[in-house]
Structure 1
Amino acid sequence: MSLDEWASKHFYLSAESSYVEQAWRPWPFQRAILACISNDDIRAVDFRKSARVGYTKMILAAIGYFAHHKRRNQALWQPTDDDRDEFVKTELDPMLRDVKAMREVFPAYLARHKDNTLQAKKFLGSMSHFRGGKAAKSYRRISVDVVYLDELDAFDADVEKEGAPDVLAGKRIEGATFPKMVTGSTPKLKGFSLIEAREMQADARYDYHVHCPHCDGHHAITWGGKDEPHGFKWTGRDAESARHLCPHCGALITQAEYLAVWERGFWYGDDGSTIEHDGVFRNAAGERVLPPRHIAFRVWTAYSPAASWADIVKEFLAAYDKAQEGDDSKLKAFRNTTLGETWEGEIERTDAEELKHRAEPFRLAVVPWGCLLLLASCDTQDNRVEVSVWGFGRGSEMWTIDHQFFFGNTQEDEVWDRVLTYLVETRFPHVSGTELKIAASAVDSGGHSTHRVYEFARVNARHKVFAVKGRPTGERNIRDGASQVDIDWRGKRRKKGVTLWWVGTNLVKDLLHGRLEVEKPGPGYVHLSRDLSDEWFRQFAGEARATRKTQFGSQTRWVAQRKRLEAKDCAVYAIWLEHHMELRRRPEAWWDALEEQVQPRNLSLFAMADGPPDMAQETDSTPASAGLLLGAQPTQEASGLLAREAPPAAEPVAARPRQPAQRRVIRSSYLKRR
């Protein structure tokens, strides 16, 4: 029996927590959610919601179902102990009293007994724990099958510096045969929302779609906007005229018309899959498929028959009027509790189209003039490793050099062998005629291949391969420390292990954002190649910076606007490498020596300005240390240089004689900045 079926048969709305005391009949959009909660193939169900959509009742029904029907141990966390006490007294205890089926498995019903407390309820064959989420100790010493986190965004993001509450709660189900995590919340501030972060991590995200009574096209009920071709529309300030605009045929739908067709609705995923009322999943072609392990639902007040569309518009108009007077508190509450959306507040973002527009016509895999050192960063996924190569020059000037995909199971050696070959053996031609190899590499150890990354970094330490991990909150520096990690790979443990380097990701992203605002090539400028894909630009611009004011000052955090961000993550780790190698502290003499090897000083000035000459002469004045660090390798010595024609009415410029080592020639790419 599914949870939907069990609730329809047994569940009851108690007088203490409902407008009407009666047997419960789930609303159409609730049925699939209930079915997914009881589906053992689904490990995590997230629910970003507004008020008045019945989430608490669904959680109560699930607690009763798993105790009565499946006899599984459970744990529920509320944001505080007081919230827990109120939930048990006003919601849970009345449910245990009024749902008669629960008396079959709850011997301590109405008894003053240790098996019936605010902290725990002992059922026949199972135990349910109820705790507040403020203290780290509340997440210890229990092993259960099902966990719930109610109003997740009201929890502390880092519980007593031991981790996020959903991560701590998830540890309690790691040994379960059929682990299940259910989280739900009204979202709060953009960039600081735990439920939105979980939603972004889900395998698929679903909105409830209904059929238009005029054209039969299906669409979600949306708030829209004044100039949007969908969503709520009304005349002037007449809230009673509120209608929903169909995005397909442009018809205006009343709430009565919506309620007449909502039984035919279904959940539609961002991947084209659908969920029917009974929890059956189908792909975009309509074929029945297995469900994802982690899914997220989004629903807001307009779907509920308990709220009228006219009242929603009235609430918005009142909040809008206050915002015009400088008080945006009501508008914030409207967005959070009615629309079920995060409040953005002060937010900054980079537009992908703007980045693409500023991209330059230089080829990938060829090192441009002024770029003197190559650093690689690797993002690890379950089925691939993505490698970005970034070039650096004087003054932290940056260039995109290459971006490669290495597909394969990242738990196996084969894919890592190909990555190592690329990192160690690839030689990138420089426009001056020399070649550069990758000087150092950073590999992300997050995800499911953590120990494999540790091993890869350990055995390739001589190639300057570093295992890194982002520290998304509480960081103090871009280089945010290091820790020694034991290796447990293929049954082996190593006493010394490998060094795991922590990256202050928000600080790096702040720095990168600042560099992207530099408008002219030179120190701090980020050069992007037009050869990069549209998806690369979308990933690179896929985050926004949100600022929250607290009693301790302003907090800034970068938040994902899309699921895939590999290009941005790789750039972050490349900048960490730049700081780890202390490139910004290198003296001018060090850069001069490096430039002498990579870009020999006896090249034609006009040849340097226009592009790569055919060949370059090797110099003997560069310290060996710079060559070892950079791996620059001059090509075959040439007998002369090809000269570029000068502007009209000028004679061709001949190859310049080699300059004495003590005199430095200013390169053409630096003329504008000095």
Structure 2
Amino acid sequence: MNPLKATIPITAVEWSDKYFRLPEGSSQIAGAWVTQPLQVALLNMMTNDSIRLLAIKKSARLGYTKMMVAALLYLAEHKKRSAVVYQPVDDESDAFVVDEVDPVIEEMPIIQRIFPDWNVKSENNKVSKKVMIGSTIDFRGATAPGNYRRLTKQVLIGDEVNAWPLEVGKKGKGEGNPIKLALQRLKGASFPKAIFGTTPTVAGNSHISNILEDCDLVFRFYLPCPHCGTEQVLEFGERDGELKEYGLLWDDTQSTTEKKSRTAHYKCVNTSECGQSFHYSDLTKMELAGKWIAEDLTWTKDGLQFFTEHGYRTQPPKNVGIEINALYSLNLDGWGEIVAEWLKAKGKPANERSFINTVLGQDYEDKSSEKLDDEILFERREKYKAQVPERAVFLTGGIDSQRNRYELFVWGWGPNDEKWLVDKQIIMGDYDKESTLKLVDKAINKTYKRANGTEMTVARWCWDTGGIDPDIVNKRSKKHGLFRVIPIKGANVYGKPIANFPLKRNKNGVYHTEIGTDTAKDLLYLHMENDPLDPASEPDGLMHLPINDDICDKFTCQQLASERLIEKSVSGKKVLRWDNEGRRNEALDCLVYALAALRISTSRFGINLNELAKTPSTGGSSSNIDIEAIGAG
């Protein structure tokens, strides 16, 4: 009689509160998931069959990624819906599965029951695909045209869509807007569902803003003032350098940032009749009474039932937009945290942009260009306590080849692409002379000390073959280890994966790897926007530079910031491409190569930076073990 059993329908919020688990390592608070008041309507909208498209323009700190994973698994288990999840690039897609999806499944018996291969690697359980009973989930990057083909799904999730390219395809043969290509995957589905979410970036180049313009209605979260009951959207209290009459405010007469942040309060928008202030401690109660209200005054509290302005039931709109910022977050120490973050960012364009994007959830109005100021990078340099800082648990390097020299840069890595520049060496001499190459050999095998005295070697190098005889690098790869020193060349096609490591040796007997340089630069320049000296900055993607002119002088910073997005014409279309416009860029190229070496290490050789970070004192031995394994291979 088992086939006759019927599953009693429950909502995504009910299902998540009952079954969803937050694992150790990938969550600040591990254990059973509890849906916060802000998250109720969002999670239900993600799974409401009446809503065909949901676009969320958001800040950080709202638990969006966890909601997305919960919705994905709910739809797979409870509604038997097959899905595809797109991240900006293939490498980030792999990292998303390893860091966010697999650890959750390990904690959820309800998913394990429909996923026989959940604890073994097989054709049915890969970083690119999970085949369950009744549903299949695919994971892809958004840059390669092939990732949009041969997929028919009922659910499409596009994460961090503002980091997606403006178009996909080969130079001179673009295949179009990736959002439209992704939506094609839903053609013919009985209950099509598309979810797009992102932190905003720059106005004018924003996928999410374009999607919101096409939505039927855009909802914002209105909270009642605890004094007068006036419903209002939470807004930041400074505009154009002046404090407003309402919003998140502070006493600007205080002498220090810390003292100012302690006075953080929210003044009611109803300044004529109320004008009173409320505080972060009131936020939970206010959110429990809050409503999501659209521009035509349609509203909902739970994302399931929708009402007109006059309280009559109405059908949910098919295409829904959401705008939400970090002032609503219940994961803060208080609103003073946001005030302090703004006061520290103020006057620094890159930091102001990061605040506007990640805290206020708004597009940044860029009045100049996309170029990152090298002076800002130089000002952000830090004093390391050791050659290899504590959180850097894995070393990779990039080698740039010139006719009269080799330039080598070593980078240390922590979880989620946090990175530290560890060393720079410039070896002058004819590129093909054995005496020059022996100096490169010595640099490749150089060791670096941690604060506790343990030594680390560079686990993997990517060595550029462009502009010189590739056979020189091929021979050095065989000498140092085929998997330790990898010959590379940049792809001449936009949208390639950061590292397309081959499964077999080429005719020269080496693993020559193609590097998606544009894809890497898209990611790295996003990372560079965040200030490592700001205590409020999330560690993900942070770039740390040492106060050491031998390793990182002004010229190095100029090279790291050497490229900018400029408009070019490709097949009659206006597209943006990275271009150094004649400036020296060896430091940036070597960072791209070091990132490629990291991606090869994590995707092909099982290096897990989260696991290494749990025992950072053994970082050196971990790197050495990796090298020994490579030699054995």
Instruction: Give the secondary structure class of the aligned counterpart of 2:196.
Output: strand
> 1:142/1:330 Cα in 2 relative to 1: closer, same or farther (>3 Å)?
same
8 Å CA contact 2:155, 2:193 repeated in 1:
yes
2:182 matched residue in structure 1: 169
Post-superposition offset of 1:338? 0.9
Alignment of 1:143-542 (within 5 A): 143-160=152-169, 161-225=174-238, 226-236=242-252, 237=257, 238-248=260-270, 249-277=274-302, 279-307=304-332, 308-320=334-346, 323=347, 327-346=348-367
Q: Could you say if the C-alpha distance between residues 552 and 317 of structure 1 is closer, same or farther in structure 2, counting changes exceeding 3 Å? A: closer
In structure 1, give the amino acid aligned to 2:154. D
Secondary structure of 2:176's aligned partner? coil
Deviations 1:581-623 (A, max 9, x none): xxxxxxxxxxxxxxxxxxxxxxxxxxxxxxxxxxxxxxxxxxx
| 8 A Cα contact 1:232 1:244, kept in partner | yes
CA shift, 1:182, in A, is 0.2
1:278, distance to aligned residue in structure 2 (A): 5.3
Choose from 553, 556, 571 the match for 2:566: 553
Secondary structure of the structure 1 residue equivalent to 2:189: coil
Partner of 2:140: 131
Closer, same or farther in 2 for the Cα pair 1:59/1:337, shift >3 Å?
same
Alpha-carbon spacing, 1:157–1:550, altered in 2? closer, same or farther (3 Å): farther
Partner of 1:21: 30
**Is the 1:74–1:144 contact (alpha carbons within 8 Å) kept by the matching residues of 2?**
yes
> Cα deviation per residue 1:358-384 (whole Å; 9 max; x = unaligned)?
xxxxxxxxxxxxxxxxxxxxxxxxxxx
Secondary structure in 2 matching 1:314: helix
SS where residue 15 of structure 1 aligns?
A: coil
Where do residues 102-121 of structure 1 align in structure 2 (5 Å cutoff)? Answer: 102-121=111-130
Measured in 2, the distance between the counterparts of 1:202 and 1:224 equals: 28
Give, in whole Å, the separation in 1 of the partners of 2:211 and 2:204: 12
- Residue of structure 1 in register with 2:422 after alignment: none
Equivalent pair of 1:106/1:124 in contact (CA under 8 Å): yes
- TM-score, with structure 2 as normaliser: 0.54
| Secondary structure class of the residue paired with 2:25 | helix
Distance 2:292 2:267 in 1: 19
Give the corresponding residue for 1:8.
Answer: 17
Deviations 1:315-360 (A, max 9, x none): 100111xx2xxx4100010001111100001289xxxxxxxxxxxx
Structure 1 residues 278 and 77, CA gap change in structure 2 (3 angstroms): closer
Which amino acid is the alignment partner of residue 118 of structure 2? Y
Provide the secondary structure at the position in 2 that maps to 1:16. coil
Kept in 2, the 8 Å contact 1:145–1:179? The answer is: yes
Task: Find the partner of 1:30 among 16, 31, 39.
Answer: 39
Decide whether the 8 Å contact of 1:190 with 1:345 is kept in 2: yes
RMSD: 2.0
Q: How many residues align?
A: 353
Q: CA deviation at 1:220?
A: 1.2
Q: Show the counterpart of 2:151.
A: 142
SS of equivalent to 1:302: helix
Deviations 1:163-182 (A, max 9, x none): 22211110000110110000
Match of 1:72 among 81, 84, 103: 81
- 1:569-590 CA-to-partner distances (Å, cap 9, x unmatched) read xxxxxxxxxxxxxxxxxxxxxx
Shift of the 550–267 alpha-carbon distance from structure 1 to 2, 3 Å rule, reads farther
Checking the alignment, whether the CA contact within 8 Å between 1:16 and 1:91 is kept in structure 2 is: no
AA at the equivalent of 2:192: P
| Structure with bigger gyration radius | 1
Structure 2 unaligned segments of length 5 or more: list them: 1-9, 370-561, 575-633
Structure 1 residues 552, 294: closer, same or farther in 2, change over 3 A? closer
Question: 1 CA distance for matches of 2:335 and 2:164?
Answer: 31
State the alpha-carbon separation in 1 of the partners of residues 114 and 275 from structure 2: 53
Is the partner of 1:207 in helix, strand or coil? strand
Q: SS of 2:94's equivalent?
A: helix
Task: Tell me how far 1:554 sits from its aligned partner.
Answer: 5.3
* In 2, Cα distance between equivalents of 1:165 and 1:140: 12
Residue 246 of structure 1 aligns with an amino acid whose one-letter code is C
Map Cα deviations across residues 496-555 of structure 1 (whole Å, 9 max, x no partner): xxxxxxxxxxxxxxxxxxxxxxxxxxxxxxxxxxxxxxxxxxxxxxxxxxxxx9735358
Equivalent of 2:48 in 32, 39, 51: 39
Q: CA deviation at 1:19?
A: 0.8
1:67 and 1:105 in contact (8 A); partners too: no
What is aligned with 1:484? none
Higher relative contact order (CA closer than 8 Å, sequence separation 6+): 2
Q: Provide the secondary structure at the position in 1 that maps to 2:166.
A: coil
Answer whether contact 2:88 2:163 (CA < 8 A) is retained.
yes
The CA deviation at 1:257 is: 1.6
SS of match in other structure, 1:26: coil
Counterpart of 1:310, as a letter, is G
Deviation, structure 1 residue 16 = 2.2
**Aligned-pair CA distance for 1:227:** 4.5
- Decide whether the 8 Å contact of 2:37 with 2:284 is kept in 1: no
Partner Cα separation in structure 2 for residue 105 and residue 553 of structure 1: 48
SS at match of 2:123: coil
Structure 1 pair 552/330, CA: closer, same or farther in 2 (3 Å)? closer
- Aligned residue number for residue 639 of structure 1: none
Letter paired with 2:251: T
**Separation in structure 2 between the aligned mates of residue 86 and residue 38 of structure 1, nearest angstrom:** 24
Q: Provide the identity percentage.
A: 32
**Counterpart-to-counterpart distance in 1, 2:216 and 2:368:** 26
Paired letter, 2:231: H
Deviation at 1:112, TM superposition (A): 2.0
Q: Taking structure 1 as the reference length, what is the TM-score of the superposition?
A: 0.51
Distance in 2 between residues matched to 1:56 and 1:261, nearest whole Å: 24
Q: Which runs of 5+ in 1 are unaligned?
A: 349-548, 559-674
